[in-house]
Amino acid sequence: MQTHEIRERFLNHFVKQGHTEVPSASLILDDPNLLFVNAGMVPFKPYFLGEQTPSSSRATSIQKCVRTLDIEEVGITTRHNTFFQMAGNFSFGDYFKREVIRFAWDLLTNPVAEGGFGMDPDRLWPTVYRTDDEAARIWHEDIGVPEERIQRRGGEDNYWDMGVPGPGGPCSEIFYDRGPEYGVDGGPAADENRFIEIWNLVFMQDIRGDKSPKEGFEPVGELPQKNIDTGMGIERVACILQGVENVYETDLLAPVIQVAEHVTGSVYGRVENSVEDVRFRVIADHSRTALMLILDGVTPGNEGRGYILRRLLRRIIRSARLLGATGATMEKFMDTVRSTMTPSYPEITENWERIRAVAVGEETAFLKTLESGTRLFEDAAAKVKATGGTELGGDAAFVLHDTHGFPIDLTIEMASEAGLTVDKDGFDTRMAEQRARAKADSRAKKQVHADVSVYRSFVDNHPTVFLGYDTTDAEAHILGLVSGGQLVDRAPEGSEVEVILDRTPFYAESGGQMADRGTLTGPGGLAQVLDVQKTGRKVSLHRVNVTGGELAVGDTVAAHVDHAWRHAARQAHSGTHLIHAALRDVLGPTAVQAGSMNKPGYLRFDFTYGTQLTSDQLRRIQDISNEAVDTDYTVNTIETSLDEAKAMGAMALFGENYGSRVRVVEIGGPFSMELCGGIHVDHSSQVGPVTILGESSVGSGTRRIEAYTGMDSMRYLAGQNAVAGSLASRLKVTSEDLPERFAQISERLQAAEKRINQFRTAELTARVGDYVMQAVTVDGVRVVAARVADGIAGGDLRTIANDAKARFGSDEAVVVFASADPESGKVPFIAAVTDAAVARGLSAGEVVKAIGPLVGGRGGGKPSMAQGSGSDVSGIDAAVAAVRPHVESALSGAR
């Protein structure tokens, strides 16, 4: 049975049992506790936490999940994947243990012809929480499972919570017996390799405190209603129904391994569980995970989600290289994943070009890193051999890995080829320290879910009616006032509170558009609206400052949006859509929105793209945007279903979760069509001129355009024009001739600076003889150590140091010069040692290491020449004075 069919059978089974099918949420959700969605119940957390009321009391879904806690372990075992699909059925205060156990049993054991999976009932072993007599009785008396096949286990195995205070409960897991060839008898308590878990039924009834019942602590309370949360592993069930050994042999991952065999020349499974097999499995697992992450809008970066994606992609490339691949392989792997996953996720097809571009772009960049990393390794290896060593230090290997992205496996392989070993223990220690810091940061960022119960009754019973699409003024009633997380009846002058209205013209911050500003005027008070946010997606919270009198629950107020604010905000938001359309026209469909922010007169637009935009590309984007302004397109809004909107060609923002009804904003028909709940102008001409301020990087693979619209654009252009006019007047040219005039001035300045540098070098060279004459002799070695004139850069120091060194010819000599830069406060310094002195055991690198701390810096280099820089000018004299003692010490140690 193919994986796609397993998914369909699961959903059909529960839809027939009255469950509402819910599409998978994005892997990226706005949750402070999660980097990625890692369990099927995550999108339903607001219902379990009591923050929102579900539209249906029964739901079912196949949720995309990613877990990345132990990426290095992937492939070592065959049971775990970073990406997996979690099938689940959920009850929100509806059915409980008896029903959910029956639903699961029927699906697993019913014949294939009747829509089930057709599993042998005698191979299924349920486990229950140690004190859950009710679940054990249902399994035995209602389902008919013999008591000897029902095992009781402790909290670590059979209690579930989210890892933070919140809902939880005992659970019942279902295991499948794969047979004696996989291990010993005795059920899952005896061997979880033979008995593989396929389904977990969570009876969510408790509220856990700071300490989890998984660790033996009692719950702190009971949930107001009993809920059900289940998770069935699609991949594990596929193993069973397809009769294969592990997930890497199923229809989703086996094709990737086959392609990897073709492009590397290696063979999977030649030696069971070999290092090569692990690399094949890494390629298969990570290729699928990477594609799904890119699909949901993640781009490679150096932190957070982007770092995880980069790490996965680089492990693919690394593994393929170690298996024998010599060129680019990423597109082949990604294309294979596209073929296997598209039946379940058809949106892959429409986003394929973007996915391919991101993955291939990262591979291209990393292959260059491998080239540079190879050179760095060779330098490190040469230093080890020069000292007679045979082992590359763990610190050096860690720097190659952490700073330069050079994989440890390649370091070990290349060290072996060079006749060296690697201090793997030292490397592992540094990696463990890094992981400990990362885990500490992660724990510090985790937080208990905010208590939003104060808003629950409003979310359930009084959702705010939004009037802002049609008006900026409305009469409304105050339904609630919240101060310090508590409901209050009144808000006196000077207080800052949240006001809940029955209806509002104020736009709540969403989709990158900042909230409206304005006033609330009641019978006894006046308040300035500072911000508007939504809770539960249904209720607008107006954060206000009461500037006069007081507001009270029950008051009728005049809600007035600042017209100037709204107008300029609309211009910026519509301007964002124009720039998005123009950008895709210039760069193509792989440039996709990655975020935006609009406030009156100003916008910034983030998008995925691998390289910096040229000045010509920016000019074209600005021109196309302003052509749309000049064309005066009509701006239409259409409310329709999500499927119909996509059929119309409307673009959606990745990572955003849309409801069944969506709002499409259309500017000029096919010119721009996007899903958007924001407020826009009526005609594109109302945006006013669009002026792009610039473009920059905000992370690997993500760029940002900033721009002005409307009067802010006009004021900016007027200011630029005034500056240009003033400069033109002073230079006695027209504004149009300014670029040529500045080019001439720049050329003259560069020529003058070149002449000045030549004079300075000549002057310094002339003084070299004076420094050489001042040399002192230390045990036969001539030592020159001097502070030269301020403002001498490192390059000039090198010139005079080489000159001084050359004047000593074949003599043993050490030359050290230091200078001070009055503007930057930096202290460049350099050391040069003749070949004869090097033979005596002296090293320029050791000299700069010795004097560097005295000027608040450090340096390094070769035995014959080394340099560095410090930041403490006051230490120069001490550094110069320290050279002679260092030479004396080095010579005595070399005897």
CATH number for the domain running over 566-718: 3.30.980.10
Most confident of the ranges 202-211, 558-567, 667-676: 558-567
4: phi > 0 → left, psi -120 to 50 → alpha, else beta; which? alpha
Largest CA distance in the chain: 104
State the Cα–Cα distance between residues 336 and 315, nearest whole angstrom. Answer: 18
* Weakest-pLDDT range from 202-206, 253-257, 418-422: 418-422
Tokens (6 digits) for 794: 């490192």
The architecture (CATH level 2) of 761-894 comes to Roll (3.10)
Give residues with Cβ within 8 angstroms of 763, minimum separation 6. none
- Surface-to-core class of residue 99, CB atoms within 10 Å of its CB (0-12 exposed, 13-18 middle, 19+ buried): middle
* Weakest-pLDDT range from 254-263, 737-746, 844-853: 737-746
Angle between helix 254-264 and helix 330-341 axes, rounded to 10 deg: 160
For 379-402, how does the pLDDT look when each residue is reduced to its tens digit (9 = 90+)? Answer: 888 888 888 888 898 888 888 877
Confidence (pLDDT) at 475? 96
If you write DSSP's letter for every residue of 380-401 in order, what string do you get?
HHHHHHHTT--EE-HHHHHHHH
* Weakest-pLDDT range from 45-49, 140-144, 569-573, 728-732: 45-49
For 482-517, how does the pLDDT look when each residue is reduced to its tens digit (9 = 90+)? Answer: 998 899 999 999 999 999 999 999 999 988 899 999
CA distances from 563 to 516, 519, 569, 636, 816 (A): 9, 11, 10, 21, 69
Is 680 labeled as ligand-binding?
A: yes
CATH number for the domain running over 3-248: 3.30.930.10
Of 483, 479, 486, 526, residue with least CA distance to 503: 479
Task: Tell me the percentage of the chain whose pLDDT exceeds 70.
Answer: 95
Of 209, 153, 163, residue with least CA distance to 67: 163
Confidence (pLDDT) at 886? 94
Is 577 labeled as ligand-binding?
A: yes
Q: Which residue carries 């610039």 as its tokens? A: 694
For 693-722, how does the pLDDT look when each residue is reduced to its tens digit (9 = 90+)? Answer: 999 987 667 889 999 999 999 999 999 889
If you write DSSP's letter for every residue of 207-240 in order, what string do you get?
EE-SS-GGGTPPPSEEEEEEEEEEEEEHHHHHHH
Give residues with Cβ within 8 angstroms of 305, minimum separation 6. 28, 35, 36, 293, 298
Q: What is the DSSP letter of 139?
A: I
Confidence (pLDDT) at 449? 42
Is 286 labeled as ligand-binding?
A: no
Mean residue pLDDT across the chain: 89
Q: Which CATH class is domain 462-561?
A: mainly beta
Confidence (pLDDT) at 496? 95
Q: Which stretches within 138-200 are classed as H helix?
A: 155-158
Residue 610 pLDDT level (bands cut at 50, 70, 90)? confident
* Weakest-pLDDT range from 239-248, 565-574, 756-765: 756-765
Angle between helix 3-16 and helix 234-242 axes, rounded to 10 deg: 110
**Three-state DSSP class for residue 562:** coil
Is pLDDT at 476 greater than 70 in this prediction?
Answer: yes
Is 573 labeled as ligand-binding?
A: yes
Confidence (pLDDT) at 442? 47
Confidence (pLDDT) at 445? 39
Confidence (pLDDT) at 812? 94
